[in-house]
Amino acid sequence: MTDPESPAETPAEGALRRAAPALLGYAAVRVLGLVTLAVWSAARGTSPHRLLSERWDSLWYTRVAELGYGYEVRLPDGDVHSNLAFFPLLPWLERLVHAVTPLSYADAGLLITSAASLAAAWGIFAVADHVHGRRAGVCAVLVWAVLPVGVVQSMAYSESLFTALAAWSLYAVLTGRWLTAGLLAAFAGLTRPVGVAVVAALWVAAITSFVGERRHSGSTLRTDGARAWRRALAMIIAPLGAAGYVLWVGHRTGRGPLGYLDVQAGWRNGFDGGYAFGRFVADKFTSFPSALAGVALIAGVALVLSLYVTCVRQGQPPALLVYSGIVVALALCASSYFGSKPRLLLPAFPLLFPLARALARLRPRRSALVLGCVAVASAAYGAFWLNGSGPP
């Protein structure tokens, strides 16, 4: 019997209890990855702390946190790498944590990433649970954790923070919490350029909802005025983060709305419809050893596209399809550094739902065995990857 004097469980406590298996499993996978990285790095004489927080993009974020914007590197070939390419929310949070704790900017980044990765895992569970049920939700989180590039979730990068904001914004859209969805979308837009995917998903869901209400308003249903205003306000709020930063960069560079595109061009980043990536793959077939890599790249792209088609066939909500579709398009069709593309796909978590559903249909022991084996392989690959070329 329930103790009548014990406090009733709050909705937040109930949601946390429901998500607990997913969060515990996620934490276990991440600990395995970090332990493997520590052992591998010790054998090579490298610092796992430095690999996670003081290399590649993480250095650019901490420089923004410490010194602000305006730092740039001019390369011998004439390219200009400006820190204006990096959106501000993560360095803002690093500066805040550094100001209120004894942590360095780099360690603040690791703390933020750790918290954000758990928030992302919970958000992914919430979305998958809402769409496909609890077991699929747990499996979706674990599949996201064991991705080959899953170690990025533990780095002082912005992927975990962005995925957390995107997942919870999408969950708010799916459950009709429009103002919450709009605010989270705005923060996502301050985190990464791909925040436009969250904005587009919210707009599509809002317009679809509005059209559906209008279609039925002449019969038995009437449009809720307050709900309609909240939805409209969310559509206004959602793009403010990304638009605000892009306009600020344009003002700072004196180039107007094109300023941010110029900054990205200095990094040789741009949207070319996949032409540069296609040439990169084609060049792999000039010799036998590299041809194997080319085949692997084609297979990887085919897998991503087939997962998206499966998501469509399984009837995912339009907001999820729009979101993951834009994330995939921006990742595969941009002329950015090609080694970063797997990392850029990391936020496209709805693509994993077909795999999660398949695992959820297995017996628990069998699905645990599959995920456990993949987690070990992912941990080993992550340690090898960071001690090698890494995720620039």
Find the distance separating the first CA and the last CA of the chain, reported in whole Å: 56
- Provide the whole-model pTM: 0.93
Task: Give pLDDT, residue 352.
Answer: 98
pLDDT in tens, 36-92: 999 999 999 999 999 999 888 999 999 999 999 999 888 888 788 999 999 999 999
Beta-sheet strands, E only, within 11-120 = 72-74, 80-82
Phi, psi for residue 192 in degrees, rounded to 5: -150, 155
- Band (6; pLDDT cuts 50, 70, 90): very low
* Segment among 1-15, 51-65, 160-174, 186-200 with least mean pLDDT: 1-15
pLDDT in tens, 203-252: 999 999 888 777 766 544 455 677 889 999 999 999 999 999 999 999 99
H or E element in which residue 272 lies: none
Residue 314 has pLDDT above 50, yes or no: yes
pLDDT in tens, 332-353: 988 776 678 889 999 999 999 9
- Band (391; pLDDT cuts 50, 70, 90): low
Residue 2 has pLDDT above 80, yes or no: no
* Alpha carbon distance 181, 232 (integer Å): 12
* Alpha carbon distance 75, 308 (integer Å): 39
User: Which is more confidently placed, 285 or 195?
Assistant: 195
* Alpha carbon distance 239, 225 (integer Å): 23
